[in-house]
Amino acid sequence: MMQMNIHEILKHLPHRYPFVLIDRIEDLQLNKEITAIKNVTINEPFFPGHFPYHPVMPGVLIVEAMAQAAAILSFKTMNVLPTEDSVYYFAGIDNVRFKKPVSPGDQLVLNVKIDRVLKGIWKYKATAHVANELVAEAQMMCILKNI
C-alpha cells in the first residue's frame, strides 16, 4: 500500500492552485489502481458562482479530479515526473454518469483503475464516492504528450 501526502502529489501533478483537485493518496498500486481523496470545502473558488444559494461541485471538476488521480497513477507507474515540456491530456471521456450532487463538507473518494495501455494511450475506469455512496463514474482515456 503506497500513500502520498500533498507535497508528494505536487511533484507528480503539473497542476497548481486553484486547479489541484487531489489532497491525499490513500492507496496506489503500480500498474493497477489508485484511491485518492478530494476534500470539498466552501472555500473552493467555483462555489460563489455554482451556485450562490445552493453550492454544488461542478461535474466536470469531479471528472477532472478523477483524471488527476489517473495522471498520478500513470506517472508513478512510468516512474517519471511531469516536466515543463510535457502535458497529460484527455484523449476521451465516455459513459460519464453523475448520481448525486457533491457539496461543501463532502469528501470525494476517487478510485481509478487502469483498464489498458496501448501505444501511449491509457484507458481507465473511474468512480467517485461520498460516504460510500457512488456520486459519479466515467471511462477515460489520457495521453502524455511533449509540447
7 is catalytic: no
Hunting for cell 497542476 — which residue is that?
Answer: 15
Instruction: Exactly one of 12, 50, 54, 129 is catalytic; name it.
Output: 50
Cα–Cα distance, 93 to 55 (Å, whole number) = 25
Cα–Cα distance, 56 to 46 (Å, whole number) = 9
CB 15 within 8 A of CB 6: no
To 5 degrees, how large is the angle CA 91–CA 69–CA 28?
A: 125
Active site residues: 50
